[in-house]
Structures are given as structure tokens and as C-alpha cells.
Amino acid sequence: MFLPCTREEMARLGWQAPDVILVTGDAYIDSPFLGVAVIGKLLMRHGFRVAIIAQPDFQSGRDITRLGEPTLFWGVTGGSIDSMVANRTASGRPRKTDDYTPGGRNTRRPDRAVIVYANLIRRHFKNTVPLVLGGIEASLRRIAHYDAWENRVRRSILFDAKADYLLYGMAEQSVIELAQVLAAGRSPLSVRGLCYAASAPPPAALQLPAYEEAAADKQAFIRMFHTFYANNDSLTALPLAQRHNNRYLVHNPPQPPLTTAELDAIHALEFERDVHPLDRRKGKVRALDTIRFALTTHRGCYGECHFCAIAVHQGRIVQSRSAASIVQEAKLLTTHPDFKGVISDVGGPTANMYGFECTRKPVLGACHDKRCLYPSTCRSLKVNHQPLIDLMQQLRAIPGVKKVVVASGVRYDMLLADHRHGLSYLREVIRHHISGQMKIAPEHSDPAVLAAMGKSGPQDLLTFRTLFTRLTKEERLDQFLTYYLIAAHPGCTFAAMERLRSFCKQELHLLPRQIQLFTPTPSTWSTLMYWTEINPFTNAPCFVEKSETGRERQKAAIISAAGRPAGSSAPGTRQRKKRKP
């Protein structure tokens, strides 16, 4: 069933008031891919009454007051995407469309949605029950953070939203513990994965540079981020504290990663895989087409690409579901009246990190002095694609399934590191699981830029491309690779983009069209480089193209026939004009 969104639905359930009201910047899609649906269903399973207000009108009290007041807490999320990323392009221009809004027009999600919704609640419910922030927007803005749209360091979103608590990460365990201690009338301040404000730091907490210091001194900001990032592993993290004026943000250590059984239990919750009728009648929600018949196999990532926040939000330990759980969910998909036989994706943050993990990391924590995949695949990470091969074969054998698509990107460096099963996996994907194209993300070809991104060099790409071409010909299939590239990443000059263009023409024999401008989003190493113009690993100066003209020129170096737009300045010229917010 859907979680109730109206008083009529609550009345049919016999509720006078919900225990928890979840407020979200997305339309309400009841799907395991939507965090608000997962959190709501999980709380319901533990005996709490949960209702949802999706995309409330933020200029009136019409929507935020329609369910009354919860008895335990308000949960506030900006939705599946940071609202500033959802609302603004990489060049800062307003986006006209939103896949998570009925009708597709970007008119329902405010900028800084978490802050706006929290203020909306405070305006209409004085002295209300606690406000709890969650989701990706809150998670990545939980400490002092650089905000590219304002080109300044902002406070923790907990203070700007005037909230009581913030739950970071995926938060399933945290939200259950929080609800239980609040229901029992106890203090929640020891819940792992929780942030809160205090008048003094806990005695055991590591103190980060104060907000005021981090905002004024880029070296202090770098020190802050190093300490923050080093304390994101549940096995080794210490409590953190950061002074904001006369108060402290207290950041408890993260929750342990979910076990396979716990992850299976979440995906065993009943989901409608549809848009709630209240939103459905307002128009089509395009995101549903992508996620309705897709399967999540795992969460977390080994990669730690410097421009990506998955390691901070989902963790560095990869948590995999059991094959039985995934197969059972696939069988359930085949019973849906709209299922046409195609499972649209099987994967996670990437497609091929399923079913294996380093033996050291779950026991001792993530390494502080090295990474799993950069600069090369760690020998302690025994990459093994056989569990994924077995899983895909089981999915293909389900009656009613005509095609199982791998739409998530594939890490080709990991595939090459698996000398026993990597080639077999690639052949399986080519033969059965792509429809004409396979997505990979080399991001760049220049070694210096790739080092700034935390990505391996171009030789792995060329080796993989040769393998893909050979196997495709052996299978007598007309299929090709799609390359995703990034322009204007810290460390990338116009000359580096010209070298990338030459590499694409000479080695790939094409000019890719999937070029995106680097977007500085909170809590990533790349954003740290963007703001400070310093490489945080070497403390050396780092070139950063910040002007809108220069950034667009970098992108045009690949997609423009001439390589340089008319009237552009000379390659490599540093632009001093700041990007418009």
C-alpha cells in the first residue's frame, strides 16, 4: 500500500495523527529507489504510523498543514538529488525540467529545499516536535561546506535549517533507533549517524576547525575536510565537533554497514512501484520509467572518485544483497501489470561491484594510506565477477523475463583486474545485457587530470576497448561503447581538453557527445580543490577554471567542430571572472 498523504487516507487506517510526517522535494514514488519511501515503510514495519507530504507548496501553509502535526518528529529531505543540483545546471542556469516532478516542469522544488521546508514547518507549527533532516542534501551538507552557487563556505545545514537533529548516510538504522528512543522519552544523542547542536563538545570528540576559521582560511578548510573524511568509517571513526559561533555541531560516528540479511529485509518491504494518486493526477513523473523495473544489487563503492560523494554518503564498504533476494524481487516484477519483460537495470553505484569485498576492511576499517582502486586495484581486493555472472544467469532464466539490461556504468579497471572471471563477465554482458551500447566513464585521458580525479590512466581504457571490440565481433553483434567525459575539473586546462580531443580522435576514432561540466557539489575532494585551488593530497597549487566562458570553452573543445567558440580567448588563459550563482 501507499503511505497516506491525505487525512482521508489516515482516517481509513483509523489514525487520529501520524507518529512521523516525512516531507520531501520529490513526488511520492513508492519504490525501493526512493529514500523517503524506504524510510517510511521501514518505520511502518517497526510499528510507527508514517505519512508523507510530497513537494508542498512552499509559499503557503496549504500542504504542510493538511495532515496536522506528528506525535514524534518531522522528517525533512530535499529529495533524491540535492535541490541546487536539481534546479541549476553546471553553469548556474535554472533547469526547466525535473524528472521527479509531476508533469516534468521544474516548478515544485525550491532552492535549498531542506531549509525552506524546515522553515515552513516552523512558521505554521510553533514549538512543534523535533525536526529531523535527512537525505542526500542534508547528508553532504552536514558540516561546514563550500557552496558553489553562492561561492562561499556555508554553515552546517543543521543550523541554517534550525533543525533539532540530522541523520546522515542511508540512515535506515539511525531513523529506527531515533524513533524508538523518542517514543520512549529518552535522549537520542548517542544514536550513531546522528548530528545535533550542543553548547559544548563531548569530551571524546575530535574538534574540527571552527566554521569561522574554515570559511576564512582555505588551509583550515583542507584540514577540516581531511579529518572529516578520515572519520567516516564505522569501525574507526571518532565523534567530531565543530564550533559555529557559540554552539557546536556534534557529529556522531556512522552506523555500521548493513548486513546482507538487513539489506534483503529492506528490499522485501512491499512497494507499489508507482506514483501516489495525489501526484499521479498532476502529470507523468518521468523518473518512474527509469526505476520501476530496475533492481538494486548493492550499495557503497570502492572507487572514491574525487568528484563523487558516494563514499561519504553510502560508505566505502560494498554491501551486497543475496542472490535469492534479488531473484525474488525480479519474480515480483514479472507480476506487475505494466511489466513488458524487460528489467531496465541491475546494479548499484556501478554495475560490477556485486558479491565481494576485501577481507580486511569489514574487520579493521578502510585503509587510511591507500585506496581500493586508485592508482590501481589493490591486491587485497579480490575482484570476482563470478557471483554477478551467476546472478545474471538466474535472472535471465525467470519466466516472463525477456531481457535483463545492465544500464549502470561498468568499472573496466576492475574487470581487467579480475583475471579469472573478468573476460567471462564482459562476454556475458555483450551477449545478453546491453542493447547496442555499453556505458563506461573514463572521464578524461590526461594523466594529470585523471590523478586529480582519482582515476586510473588511459591505458586501461584502451585495453578494455580492444577487448570489447574483439568480443563484439566474435559475437557478431553491432554494438559500441558510450564514453562519459568531464570538462573543467580542477587541474584541467584548455590544453588538457585539446589533448583529450586528440586522444578521442586518434585512439577512440570518435568524438564523444556525453560531455558534462564539472559541478562542485558539497563534501567531495574535487569541490575542495575547486574552492581552495590547492591539491589537498600534495598541498601544491591546482589550476581551476572558474569562469563561465572558460568552462564552456573546455566543453566545446570536444563537442564543437572547431574546438574553440568564436571570440574565445587563447588556450590556457586563466579567467578571473567568478561563475555566476
Question: What residue numbers does the annotated binding site cover?
Answer: 301, 305, 308
Q: What is the rounded distance in angstroms from the CA atom of residue 337 to the CA atom of residue 249?
A: 49
CA 528 to chain CA centroid, Å, is 17
Q: What is the rounded distance in angstroms from the CA atom of residue 156 to the CA atom of residue 173?
A: 22
What residues pair up with 191 in beta bridges, in sequence order? none
Q: What is the rounded distance in angstroms from the CA atom of residue 238 to the CA atom of residue 234?
A: 9
Q: What is the rounded distance in angstroms from the CA atom of residue 493 to the CA atom of residue 460?
A: 23
239 upstream amide cis, omega within 30 of 0: no
Cell of 70: 506528528
Comparing CA positions, the residue from 487, 473, 483, 464 lying closest to residue 554 is: 487
Q: Which residue has the cell 564552456?
A: 552
Provide the annotated binding site for [4Fe-4S] cluster.
Answer: 301, 305, 308
Do the bridges between strand 131-133 and strand 480-487 make them parallel or antiparallel, or are there none, so unpaired?
unpaired
Q: What is the rounded distance in angstroms from the CA atom of residue 340 to the CA atom of residue 403?
A: 10
Comparing CA positions, the residue from 243, 265, 283, 305 lying closest to residue 529 is: 305
Q: What is the rounded distance in angstroms from the CA atom of residue 174 to the CA atom of residue 142?
A: 15
Cell of 120: 515552513
Q: Which residues contact 250 (CB under 8 A, 6 or more apart)?
A: 189, 195, 196, 197, 198, 201, 202, 205, 239, 240, 241
